[in-house]
Structures are given as structure tokens and as C-alpha cells.
Chains A and B, each alone.
Chain A
Amino acid sequence: MTTTGTRPALGVDESFATPSATPHLRQQVLVLYLGTSALDSTVIGWTRYDGTGRSHPTTGDSDTPPYETGLAALLDGWRLLQMSQLHPHTTGEEYETSYLPYEFLFERLVDVTA
């Protein structure tokens, strides 16, 4: 291991206060819970967060999913960031159920000046 011995040019807070290179863009986040681990399976749960601040999605705000499948979200321009891993079932607890297992996280960037 080597060290350069140089001091950072900025403090952390100062560096993180640097203006964004994309000040007109904000993230919208879509979380889809699917029926199986397949991206083209049916949406059984959905959540949205709006980085534009123009809307406030919340608990129980709709009874109809925004897409029928995860793949339909891709086709509509959402970018897939992450899908949940498949974990083996714990011996002796194979029938235990808990949090929804098939979670898919999407984003898209929105121009807030438009």
C-alpha cells in the first residue's frame, strides 16, 4: 500500500456543494414487485418516488399498476438499475413468507425546465 501524502483540495461538504453538471435533470424512481423473478412477469406491487417534487406518490394512491409487467416499463423507456437476488430457502423455514421477493428498481431522468 502506498500513500501520496497529498491533502485533498476540498473538504467533503465543500466538494459535495459543487454545482451539478446536469442541474436541469431530476430522477424519477419506479419500484416494481413482480410475480416471479422474470422481468416479463406480472406486476403485483408498485411504488414511485418523484425527484422533480411535482408530485407526491404515497401509500394507497392507486389500484391499477402503471405497467402490466416489468418488461413493459423497459419498453416505455425506464432504465433498470437493479433486480433482487435469488436467495436459497433456509432449511426448516421453506414455507415461511416475509417481504416480497422479486423487486425491480427502475429510473428515468426528467428535464425539470421542460
Chain B
Amino acid sequence: MTTLVDRKNLMTSVEMAHFVSHGSFALEAVVPAAVNERAVEVLDAGIPRHPYGTPLDTAFPPGSFVRELISLPAVAGAIQSLVGPDPAIDHHAVHVRPPRGGEAQNMHGDAILDTRTTAFDVQLMYYPRDVTLDQGGTLSVPGTHLRRINQTGIGRYQNLAGQTRLTCPAGTVVFLHHGIWHGGRRNDSDVPRYMFKIRFNPTVRQLRLWNTDDIDSPGVREELRASFGWTDANEGRLELVNRAKLWRTLTGDAEFDIDYYLTRETLSPQFIAPGATDVRLGSHAPSDGWGVA
């Protein structure tokens, strides 16, 4: 992926705003049926592993199945929009849930508590077959990706208002922010469920990597303000603040704000107004002392 993706295949600003608020971006049935048909055999055979941080060209050389998958125009466009050209491959894995098999995972965030504020990884999830509700598609909670938790410290949370249980047609590719809360669900169907995951690390600053032609679209703010049930009460405004911070990072616009929250906290003027009263008032007398009239 050493060549840049055609601009028309990059994500739009509205789509990027959707990713910032939801922590996910889905391309439904984007992979052609012919590729999906080959995928299961390839995934069953296994895909060689590589050290963390392997260059994309090394991990998935031209001619390989995975390279074909991630070179599809819309997929390549999303990858470049989110993490930039020439990302590194953190790791990848094939997940197969056997029929009537497996227990639901406790809710968790992948890897470890991540302290980064100006960068993020993206996880591509590819589903070569239809995923129905009883196949136990991944449970995820939109908007949780900016909350700092450590792994399965959230394992006690079984259900959150606004959660989504993935169902999708064959050939769907979903991109997730590394911090999103999620868990694999039990497969209660009679067919195995396949999912192939790749975690990408950025190798460039994640600044205006998408097609910004629609940067002033009202849809951008609409997406950034999305609410999800669990954000309807006290946590919602804090989420807006953190989305505004991430949007500042991604656009380079240091003054972007939602509902004036970040701007208001900077309003602490030091200029003394011309009409201020006598500077001697209360400023020179020592404390009167305890019990002194």
C-alpha cells in the first residue's frame, strides 16, 4: 500500500465524524462474493503471524489474499483515512466460533489501557459470511472508545443501553477504534461464524487523512453529537468534550468546540477593568488573628 488511495475512495468528513462519535465505521457487503467464497478456505488454512509492528508490505505482500482484501478501493480508502498510508500491522487473527459453541466473552477493551490522546489504532474486522443474530456477532457499545479502562475491568457490565449486536451480510468490513468496549457472543446457530481481524498502527500523524471536501457540512456536527442511550444522562456532555478534543486533533482546528464546553473553561481574563476599585481594599492589612475584634 505504498501508493495513495484515489481521493474519491477516502472517507468523507461526515463519515469520519461518525467514527469519532461511534468508534466504528462499517462497509456493508463491500467485499465481492468471489473473494468471500475463497476466504473461508484461506482462513481455515491460517494466515502466518508476524512480529508486532511489521510493515504492511512484509506482512501482506502483493498477491496474497489479505493484500487483495485490503486493496479493495473502499477498504483501502477507509484504512488510509483512519491511520494513513503505509500503516504497520500490529497483529492479526482469525476468529472462528464453532456451531453451538463457545461462551460469551466478558465485556472488555483490547490490549491494555491506552494513554494516547493524539493517535489511535484501528481494528479491521472482516466477515466473509452472513452474520445472523443467533450466530453471536460481536457485541459492542457505540461511543465507549474514549473512556479509559483496562481490559476486562469492565467485565461486570453485561448490557448497556444503546449496545449493538452485530448482524451483517457476507463481505462486510467493520473498522473499530482500539478503545471500543466489546465482547464476542456465544454462537447458538448450526454454522461456524468467521471473522478475520487486523490491527493497524499509524505511521504518520493522523491529521486530515480523509476527503475533507465536506468539512463544513452540518452532518459533521450531527454525527459528533450522536447519543447512545447510555450517554443520555450525566456522562453525555463529557463524551461531547472528548469527541471535540479528538476532532481538534484530527482536523488541526484548535478552536473547534461542541456546546462551548472547551471554550468556556479558557475564559479566565486577567486584564483589570478600568473601573476596578481602590487597590488598597483588603490587600495590605495582615490577618486579624483568631479572636481579635
Chain B binding site: helix, strand, loop or mixed by DSSP?
loop
Q: How far is the CB of B56 from chain A (nearest CB, A)?
A: 33
Nearest-CB residue, chain A, relative to B105: A59
Q: How far is the CB of A99 from chain B (nearest CB, A)?
A: 6
> Are B157 and A45 in contact, with the CB atoms below 8 A?
yes
> Are B235 and A59 in contact, with the CB atoms below 8 A?
no
> Are A44 and B148 in contact, with the CB atoms below 8 A?
no
> Are B238 and A59 in contact, with the CB atoms below 8 A?
no
Can you list, as one digit per residue, whether each of B264-293 has a CB less than 8 Å from chain A (1) or not (0)?
A: 000000000000000000000000000000
Q: In the assembled complex, which residues on chain B have CB atoms less than 8 Å from the CB atom of A36?
A: 233-234
Q: In the assembled complex, which residues on chain A have CB atoms less than 8 Å from the CB atom of B154?
A: 99
Which of A5-13, A14-22, A61-69, A77-85 contacts its partner?
A61-69
4 residue pairs, one from A and one from B, having the closest CB atoms: A35-B233, A60-B139, A47-B158, A44-B230
State A41–B235 Cα separation when bound (angstroms). 13
Query: Can you list 28 residue pairs at the A/B interface with Cβ under 8 Å?
Result: A31-B156, A33-B230, A34-B233, A35-B233, A35-B234, A36-B233, A44-B160, A44-B161, A44-B233, A45-B158, A45-B159, A47-B156, A47-B157, A59-B106, A60-B104, A60-B163, A61-B104, A63-B159, A63-B163, A65-B161, A95-B241, A97-B146, A97-B148, A97-B242, A98-B147, A100-B230, A101-B235, A102-B234
Nearest-CB residue, chain B, relative to A60: B139
> Are B159 and A98 in contact, with the CB atoms below 8 A?
no
> Are A59 and B230 in contact, with the CB atoms below 8 A?
no
Chain B: number of interface residues, binned into ranges: 20 to 34
> Are B148 and A96 in contact, with the CB atoms below 8 A?
yes
> Are B233 and A59 in contact, with the CB atoms below 8 A?
no
State A99–B238 Cα separation when bound (angstroms). 13
> Are B147 and A35 in contact, with the CB atoms below 8 A?
no
Can you list, as one digit per residue, whether each of B138-162 has a CB less than 8 Å from chain A (1) or not (0)?
A: 0100000011110001101111110
Q: How far is the CB of B181 from chain A (nearest CB, A)?
A: 10
> Are B230 and A45 in contact, with the CB atoms below 8 A?
yes
Most chain A CB within a 10 A radius of its CB, from B157, B159, B234, B245 = B159
A-B contact count (CB 8 A): 91
Q: B-contacting residues of A (Cβ < 8 Å)?
A: 31, 33-36, 41-48, 57-63, 65, 95-102
Q: How far is the CB of B238 from chain A (nearest CB, A)?
A: 5
Most chain B CB within a 10 A radius of its CB, from A43, A60, A65 = A60
State A15–B103 Cα separation when bound (angstroms). 35
Q: How far is the CB of B146 from chain A (nearest CB, A)?
A: 7
Given A59-B105, A59-B107, the answer on whether A33 and B157 have CB atoms closer than 8 Å is yes
A46-B158, A60-B165 given; name 5 further pairs at CB < 8 Å: A35-B232, A59-B139, A96-B148, A97-B146, A98-B148
